[in-house]
Structure 1
Amino acid sequence: MNERPPQPSSLPSTQPEDDFISLFAEVFGLEKAQLLAPEFPVLDIEGGARFIDFALRADNKWIAFEVDGPTHYQPPAFDRNKYEDDLLRQNSLIHQGWQVYRWTDHELDQHRERVKEQLALFLERVPGLLDMDDFLPKQRACKADFNLRTHQSEALDWLGSIRAEGTTIALLGHATGSGKTFTAIEDARRVGQPVLYVAHTKNLIRQTERAVAEQWPEVTTGVIQGGRFEPDAGFVLATVQSLCNRLSDIDPACFRYLIIDEAHHAAADSYQQVLAYFRPVFTLGLTATPERPDGKPILDVFRDTAHRLSLKEAIERGELVPIRCVRVKTNVDLSRVRFNAIQYQRKDLEQAITIPARDELIVQTYLDHVRGRKAVTFAVNVRHGEALAERYRTRGVPARAVSGRMPSRERDEVLDAFARGKLHMLCACDLLNEGWDCPDIEVLLMARPTLSKIIYLQQLGRGTRKAQGKECLLVFDFVDNAGRYNQSWNVHRATGNPQYRPGGFVAAPKDRIEEEALTGPQDPLILNLGLWTEHYEEIDVFDWQSAIKDMLPVAELERQLAASEGYLRNKVLQGELEPDHDLALGRRRYFYFAKARKQAIADQFGLKPVIAANIRERFFAFCEDMDMSASYKPVLLLALLDSVDDEGKAQLGELTSAFRDFYLQRSNCGLPAEKGKLRMTRVTELSESEIQRLILEMPFKKYAQRGFVDYARDLAQLRIVPALWKRLDANDHQRLREIAKTRIDEYFQR
């Protein structure tokens, strides 16, 4: 087979990257954009190294986003080999189970609203977007078989003992009858509430709810099933399907204890969604059948699906080696390097970073402190990696540059030479080879600034594997000058540890830290540094990506306070409202507010949130006083009232027809369908999808902004929210029709 040369990322420049990240952030929030992994490495079906423009993990799914330039497949620049190579890459992804979505840079620039609508549609059924944590260790898990009718106390003792040893997932086999219920409830009581119990039938839910009431009477119970949604109780019981339908409404970390009954169903997609989504302290599976029909142990399904240990947890539990750090400050200025939510602009970064003086500092650091140790230097790009490798070689260090874009045979030869000790240094510009592992790496030189936590942690993961005789991983963080919002990730931020001592532990088991505090370092790797001090330096580990997670974006604050779209944003821009965080990323500024300020902001500007008690009154006030630069809002109200069923729901297609018919009727009567150059003046030329987009982009958003209606994209269904719908009677419907017709008449008579 002829080896196919690796191809670069399909993104032709940084602007499409910025556009995609900006659109993604507008749909899902800036905090969710942090979960995108740019230029993510994979292997195709022929074993070739590939890179996905943006990768995303969601419950048990892997999603790839690709952006193509306009010249890729058009004459005269059309390249058949490039076209066929792209097909191989994307077919390989689909074969490996990836969901693949593609846009052109033209779409991202010129059709932003359409791309946002598509993004929302494609990910509508995805309940939780997750960290790319597959490189971290799995949770510890154990299984045991007990006759739980007669040996409940032994089972409880066993569960307590394995927890004390760091096990966080347990499977009890041969668990049938009332004994399993007693054991699960009692163990959950010992760990503490809140508890989530998941089963696949209503009968199991009812039986277990009765058992909880008898055995643990002081705990409150709630149910997620059918029309009941009670996630705030101390002991929540849920059917798996009802739970999956509402996952996005529940905090992944809200339960301490998760019970999966009839755990042999765990391989089903619904159960895997639940296992992947929640982050409990302890998970217990109950099953009468510890093996699946395909022979794969159920315990493996739990471990493969559940969230991984965090880096800090894995190190403290001894699953990974401790990390020490030396910070090396440079005089390189990153303050003028443009950046978006997850990365610096590539060209700006390359110009700022790839300078000889900084490269010499990197090489000299290795020579002065850890010469001869097996190490990896992470570089900015391929050219930077090659330049660093050449500089190392001229100083007598056996070094090679390595990249996923190298021909696979050459790359494998380099990696093999490094593994066998013939090379001391690898200079890598990406995450190396998927699946490649060299546990005896002792040193990482983090010379590539990155705003992506995913990229930094995956680079760090290359050195945290345990190996015989390996006491720790030593990280050299090269610290360039940057502002608070554009500082690169470093090991102190990644572990949340603000205390720095050159060569000291950043993360380690507690007993190791206590021992070193008493005796000083014993490891020759650290003693030879010549940098050890007894005093710590405080490091700013501010992480705006984490800081905004529990804050309100300005658009969400506007929605919760029933303000018109853009009202509070304009107050910020006019200097009347101070946000807690003001981020200028790409083309857009993002404003975030602490939740505790919501009432004060409402009082400051006289805003009154829409709540169940006032929703009917506020809805009528909105309909009577709506500002109108077009007729769309009252026409949508009429169309909605004509289309809704008994539950206040309307199919988008039926609603669109009613909306369009209003303007067609005016046109057929010789009246202008709309005024001026508004889109509905061309009602006879517009397609159904164009009218649907107009409805969703304009009048619908005005109602939804105040919490009166919502839209289920996957069902193509609009709905008057239940809190409002149940408060409207037939007389209200008639009054609303009259209000809408009056507003329409007033509009066209102006």
Structure 2
Amino acid sequence: MTLSDYLRSLGFQQIDSQFTSYLFSDNTQKVGIIIDTQLYGTNKPSYRYHEYTSWQNMLMHKFERLYRFIDSEAHEDRLLIDAILNDSTDEYDFRQFGADRQISETDPTRPEYNFESLFEQVYGSKYLHALEREYQYVDLLGKSRYVDYVLKTIEGEIAIELNGESFHHPLHIRQSRYQSQLLKQNSLMKDGIKVYRWSNAGMADEKKFADQIRLYFGEEEKFCSKPTASQFRNISFSLFKHQQDALLDIENGRTQGKNTFLLVLPTGTGKTEVFIADHSNQKKLGNADRALVIVPFKDLREQTKARFIERNPNLIVSSNILDSSADVIVQTTQAIQRQFASLSTDHFDYIVVDEAHHAPAQGLKRVLEHFNPKTLFGCTATDKRLDQKDLAEIFGRYQLNMTLEEAIKQKLLPPIRAFRLESNIDFSQVRFNGKEFVKSDLNKRVILPSRDQLIVDVLSKYFTQQDAVTGQSLATLQGVIFCVDVKHANRLAALLNKHKISAEGVSANSREGLKKYKEGNVRFLCACDLLNEGWDAPNTSIVVMARPTMSKVLYMQQLGRGTRNHPGKEALYAIDVVDSYGPALQPWSLHSIFNLDGYKPFADIFNPNEAFVGEEVILDHLYEHERKLHPIKLFNFEDEFGDYINDEQLARELFVSTGTVKAWVKNQSLLPDKQLPFGSHTLNYYEQSRVDEIREEKNLKYRNEDTRRDDFFEFLEQRDYSFSFKIIFLLLMLKHADKTGEVTLSLLRADYQSFYKKLLTKYGQAEKTNSPLNNEEYLDDVPAITKSILQNPFEKFERKNFMYHSKELDKLAFDPVLWENLENGDIELIRKQMRSDGEAYFNKHVEAGGIGDNWYEGI
């Protein structure tokens, strides 16, 4: 029995099909299942990957649960579909494969880069914090997997996969790989996490993509936008201590303020007895009301549960992580990783990680970062991980429920000391696209020998010195310089080496310097976008912002490379290269990020008047003038314009074209609230609260996504036909639209030409007198006809945001919101009106004797 037959036996009904896939649904219409057929036979179908993902995304939004399988008669596939559709009791031990992608995948792929940029354009930079990159997840079979992004919202998580066609298209990859891809997707969906997929081609039409993510992700008010700081627990580490000695060490550690304990005991010496005894003591003191014990295997879980009950029969011991009545929950790593995110950070008072050497850092890292118990206890018997560094990295890190600024002010993270290096180089001609500086312009103007020399001079002057009295030196401090591109990074590294400061340029294709840096064999790394995120070197004490940016997220990512604690590290020294950008526009700097209007060189930015200590004493000796607080005038783009909308956003709110808004501004019938001069252009911004006022002034009807269908029918009811183009175009759009409302332009154009040629042949006239469509030579001119379609009928629909055009894909498409809201019978209703209107039009303008009942045949 195939899966299709099996679904029917379970009461599912086939309700649709697309390509070689069948769509089934249960009688509630809440669960959808796609069954793929004929993918790997001799008669392979042909469709583009963005078509595959577009249909699936639409269905993912429609159904509460959407699963996807390959049609099969294999027994294991039946078991898998049962596990997903039912509450399966099958359990699997945790399995980790490959490297930690949060560390190894430091560079975003091209689709990921495009997604971040477009997401920021739609929702704004502050909501990029709601995206977690390289999100680790454990699938239904216990295997550790990664999702490109997870969007954190107050209603739950949304998974986003940014795919390359050659690596993810089911027609281009092996069946085993595609099944693995589906297993990850189905596992996420079973846990209530919807999965949306895009490729570069799927994001090529930016306007359509913006509408899609608005529809699928919802409004930004639901996003979790607050960035958090990381901290390391105060850890007590004990090796090969027997039970009583180990318990005594733990108690001594608690008196010193420690709450995290890592214990190594040889096999058979009773490490389980140690944490059971410690838990019992802490429970009596009221410090362990709810405990969690994480073990790597199912067998060990049952043994540990039995041991707890044997020592204290009154304990309620469970394996259900959500059991609020249990005193102790013992569960496997695999199960914990799939359930922990729904619990609060203080849900457990006492957490034990048993057999810690079996649990890789990647597997437990996110779990242990999430929880902040009163006691965290790890133990192992292995001799393979006796160094404190490896185990501490597993257990030590957790998330602070505070911003970076709050963590620094509370001295949980090192202070930041700022230096503003003013270059006096004029960058006023560097173009700004409304969100970020144009990189090609930065390449021309930032990579200047004189500017690079200023950076080297500052590092030479301040960070090659030592104190004559104490002998303390700044010449060993390491740092990262963020550059515009690879060329800039390599050039700056060469200049530093020339001045006897060891440095290496690093990029996606040149990573050799990363290892040398961590080992302390090179002082500075010159990097472009490589180190913005996903790379960790706590020994970084200096960051130089040599790449100007208007992206707050990018700046904070770069700054974050140095905000980690490290033995002997007094502070992070942040050097902002401050260029001249004119009076209205300034890139982000430390002072604008934290809204500070006073500057004292190398002083703690939050405590500038604090007495000099340590390294700062050495820096102070270098000054020839008194260090004083200088007032600085800052331009904060987000503060000035963050709550305003631009021309494009206003047009979207009003459901008019951007050109219409700009025309209003030009003829002064609309006055922007703020304007930002930029070269020969002016960027216009409007208060969000004025949208309703402008709509009323322009006598525009209130329209939003909920009214899109009614707006479309209202538009058609106007019957504004200067020519027949709109009628024929819409009939052809409906003829060729796929399940997602997309149409291949070249296919539509061929039918468009064919229809008018038939009229011309039959009646000697295809349109009104003097229309170019009455010329057969013109009808054969593909570029001319294409231009005509896009400028005439299509533009009328595009202006109202009913349709979109993607030149790169050769596609036209209905707006996704409109397409989704068209009800049963709507398409036939539209066809009926267009055929009736077309017959009336052609009878009036083309053939007085009557065009005939079947004039629309073929379209």
TM-score range, shorter chain: 0.5 to 0.7
Contact 1:324 1:504 in 2 (8 A): yes
Could you tell me which residue of structure 2 aligns to residue 602 of structure 1? Answer: 695
| Cα pair 1:338 1:345 within 8 Å, conserved | yes
SS at match of 2:230: coil
Aligned residues of 2:485 and 2:528 also touching (Cα < 8 A): yes
2:563 corresponds to 1:464: yes
Q: Kindly provide the CA deviation profile for residues 509-549 of structure 1, in whole angstroms up to 9, marking residues without a partner as x.
A: xxxx4xx75x53434426633477564624415124x7655
Residues 714-750 of structure 1: per-residue CA shift (max 9 Å, x gap): 9989675899979999999988876676567667699
Within the alignment, does 1:403 sit opposite 2:506 as a pair?
yes
Matching of residues 373-452 of structure 1 within 5 Å: 373=474, 374-376=477-479, 377-382=481-486, 384-385=488-489, 387-389=491-493, 391-392=495-496, 395=499, 397-404=500-507, 408-409=511-512, 411=513, 414-415=516-517, 419-420=519-520, 423-429=522-528, 431=530, 437-452=536-551
- Among 525, 531, 535, the alignment partner of 2:616 is 525
Confirm or deny: 8 A CA contact 1:266 1:302 kept in the other structure.
no
Please give the residue correspondences for 1:580-595 in structure 2 after superposition, counting only pairs within 5 Å. Answer: 580=673, 591-595=684-688
Q: Give the TM-score normalised by the residue count of structure 2.
A: 0.47
Alignment of 1:696-711 (within 5 A): 702=796, 706=800
Question: Contact 1:378/1:429 (CA < 8 Å) preserved in 2?
Answer: yes
**CA separation of 1:302 and 1:724: change in aligned 2, threshold 3 A:** farther
Q: Tell me the residue number matched to 1:504.
A: 603
Deviation at 1:325, TM superposition (A): 0.9
Taking the TM superposition and a 5 Å limit, the aligned residue runs for 1:218-617 are 267=338, 300=367, 303=370, 311-316=404-409, 320-340=413-433, 343-346=436-439, 348-372=441-465, 373=474, 374-376=477-479, 377-382=481-486, 384-385=488-489, 387-389=491-493, 391-392=495-496, 395=499, 397-404=500-507, 408-409=511-512, 411=513, 414-415=516-517, 419-420=519-520, 423-429=522-528, 431=530, 437-483=536-582, 486-506=585-605, 513=607, 519-525=610-616, 528-529=619-620, 530=623, 533=627, 535=629, 537-544=631-638, 550-563=643-656, 566-580=659-673, 591-610=684-703
Letter aligned with residue 573 of structure 2: L
SS of the residue corresponding to residue 700 of structure 2 reads coil
TM-aligned CA deviation for residue 477 of structure 1: 1.1
* One-letter code aligned to 2:462: H
| SS of alignment partner, residue 563 of structure 2 | coil
Give me the whole-angstrom Cα distance separating, in 2, the residues matched to 1:691 and 1:472: 66
C-alpha distance in structure 1 between counterparts of 2:162 and 2:323, whole Å: 41
Other structure's SS at 1:462 match: helix
Letter in 2 for 1:323: I
> What do residues 241-279 of structure 1 show as CA deviations (whole Å, max 9, x unaligned)?
xxxxxxxxxxxxxxxxxxxxxx969739xx98xx8xxxx
Q: Which amino acid aligns with 1:552?
A: I
The answer (yes or no) to whether the contact 1:652–1:716 under 8 Å persists in 2 is: yes
Give the structure 1 partner of residue 230 of structure 2.
137
Looking at structure 1, the residues matched to 839 and 442 of structure 2 have their Cα atoms a distance apart, in angstroms, of: 58
1:221 is aligned to none
**How many matched pairs?**
550
Q: Post-superposition shift, 1:481?
A: 0.2
Asked if 2 retains the 8 angstrom alpha-carbon contact of 1:554 and 1:568, the reply is: yes
Aligned equivalents of 1:722, 1:631: Cα separation in 2: 27
Distance in structure 1 (CA, Å) of the matches to 2:790 and 2:232: 44
Contact persistence 2:742–2:812 (CA under 8 A): no
Once the two structures are superposed, residues 29-53 of structure 1 have per-residue CA deviations (whole angstroms, 9 ceiling, x without a partner) of 49479969xxx99xxxxxxxxxxxx
Q: Contact (CA 8 Å) 1:553, 1:591: kept in 2 or not?
A: yes
Structure 2: how far apart are the matches of 1:746 and 1:33?
Answer: 57
Q: Which residue of structure 2 aligns with residue 127 of structure 1? A: 217
Kindly tell me: are residues 443 and 532 of structure 1, through their superposed partners in 2, closer, same or farther at Cα, counting changes over 3 Å? farther
Q: 2-side partners of 1:702 and 1:155: how far apart?
A: 68
- Whether contact under 8 Å (1:579, 1:593) holds in the other structure is yes
Quote the offset at 1:426 in angstroms.
4.4
Contact 1:325 1:476 in 2 (8 A): yes
Deviation at 1:360, TM superposition (A): 3.6
* Distance (Å, rounded) in 2 between the aligned partners of 1:643 and 1:382: 46
Greater Rg by CA: 2
Question: After superposition, what is the alpha-carbon deviation per residue over 1:73-103, rounded to whole angstroms, capped at 9, x for unaligned?
Answer: xxxxxxxxxxxxxxxxxxxxx9x99989568
Tell me how large the CA RMSD over aligned residues is. Answer: 6.8
Distance of aligned partners of 1:26 and 1:702 in 2 relative to their CA distance in 1, 3 Å threshold: farther
Paired residues of 1:615 and 1:724 also in contact (CA < 8 A): no
**Counterparts of 2:846 and 2:729, CA distance in 1:** 16
Q: Percent identity?
A: 23
Cα distance, 1:678–1:61 mapped onto 2, change above 3 Å: farther
Q: CA deviation at 1:137?
A: 3.4
Once the two structures are TM-superposed, the CA of residue 121 in structure 1 deviates from its matched residue by 10
Q: Please report how far the alpha carbon of residue 482 of structure 1 lies from its aligned counterpart in structure 2 after TM superposition.
A: 0.5
Deviation at 1:331, TM superposition (A): 1.2
* Cα distance in 2, alignment partners of residues 392 and 571 from structure 1: 53
CA distance change for structure 1 residues 467 and 576 in 2, over 3 Å: closer, same or farther? Answer: same
Deviation for aligned residue 1:474? 1.5
- Equivalent runs, 1:63-78 vs 2, <5 Å: 63=162
Gaps of 5+ in 2: 1-106, 135-147, 152-157, 166-180, 186-195, 234-258, 261-274, 277-282, 292-317, 327-333, 372-397, 466-473, 806-810, 849-859
Q: Does structure 2 retain, via aligned residues, the 8 Å contact 1:444–1:474?
A: yes
Q: Are the aligned partners of 1:135 and 1:458 in contact in 2 as well (CA < 8 Å)?
A: no
Q: How does 1:729-744 map to 2 (within 5 A)?
A: 742=840
Is the Cα contact below 8 Å between 1:564 and 1:702 reproduced in 2?
no
- 1:631 partner letter: S
